Amino acid sequence: MKVVVCVKQIPDPAIPGELVPETGTLNRDDKLILDESDSYGVEMALQLAEAAGGGQVSLVSMAPRSETSGLRTALAMGADDAVLISDDALAGSDALGTAKVLGAAIAELEADLVLAGVESSDGYTGTVPEMIAGVMGLPSITFAKQIEISDGVASVQRQTEAGYDQVECALPAVVSVTAGVVEPRYPSFKGIMAAKKKPVEGKDLAALGIDAAAVGVAGARQETVEVTDAPEREAGEIITDEGDAHANIVEFLTELKVI
């Protein structure tokens, strides 16, 4: 079984982000790290390969400057190899442009199963996995909390507000994994050293046969027209409890239409 995991490399959330003034997009010039939401997809893939008694876990990522820091973390977890798409023309790509690029790279890998996080920590569109399935013509299951593979069929517990739905579909398929449903393993020292030697194949748009005009800022169907500072938080009202504070709370909640 071959599992491909979509991995996004993002600016470190611990460092205050900066916007590029000309485009209003996130500055990605510094070192990028593995998006935590995608670490759950990597862990799920590794567990599926282990349950199958063997298999291959490959990573696919799109990042500027041929950045591999986040990929190396996922490789150190146990993934076998990776494909990195890096091209200056990709800057400013929207969700659909990203899906077209990732889908083209995944198609060359002939995967049995494609996994991804539900949404990235720096974009939060929550649409890319389904768009990948759309451009590749594959079935898609979202919000997976558990996956089992048997006889070419994926059996998935799909998380809902009321619990979960039991869903099945034939492979190959695209499945997005809900954050927190598995515990991503920490890369061991042995894994970190091994990751340095694992292959990362670099590709650009030409190698994937994609026209630069269809992606990046040129092909994006969305535009940042304005960026403003968030309003400062106003001081709250202080109420001295003289035995009737509960009435003030009820009145406040009533105004908010909470009760």
Dist. CA 25–CA 19, nearest whole Å: 5
- Checking if the pLDDT of 21 tops 80, the result is no
CA-based torsion, 119, 104, 169, 79: positive or negative: negative
pLDDT digits (tens, 9 = 90+) for 116-136: 999 999 888 999 999 999 999
Cis peptide before 21 (omega within 30 of 0): no
pLDDT digits (tens, 9 = 90+) for 175-230: 999 999 999 999 999 999 999 999 999 999 999 999 999 999 889 988 888 888 88
Give me the mean pLDDT over the 236-258 stretch: 86
Give the contacts of 74 (CB within 8 A, at least 6 positions apart).
Answer: 5, 7, 34, 38, 39, 42, 59, 82
pLDDT band per the 50, 70, 90 thresholds, residue 13: confident
The CA-based dihedral angle spanning residues 89, 107, 131, 56, taken in that order and rounded to the nearest 10 degrees? -110
pLDDT digits (tens, 9 = 90+) for 26-44: 888 888 999 999 999 999 9
Dist. CA 54–CA 6, nearest whole Å: 20
Kind plus residue range of the DSSP H or E element containing 148: strand 140-150
* All domains in the chain, ordered by first residue: 2-219 (3.40.50.620)
Q: What pLDDT is recorded for position 51?
A: 93
pTM of the model: 0.86
Is 102 in a helix, a strand, or coil? helix
Is 230 in a helix, a strand, or coil? coil
Dist. CA 19–CA 27, nearest whole Å: 5
Q: How open is the CA angle 30-183-162, to the nearest 5 degrees? A: 110
Q: Across-strand partners of 114? A: 4, 174
Q: CB 241: neighbour CB atoms within 10 A?
A: 8
pLDDT digits (tens, 9 = 90+) for 78-106: 999 999 999 999 999 999 999 999 999 99
- Checking if the pLDDT of 155 tops 80, the result is yes
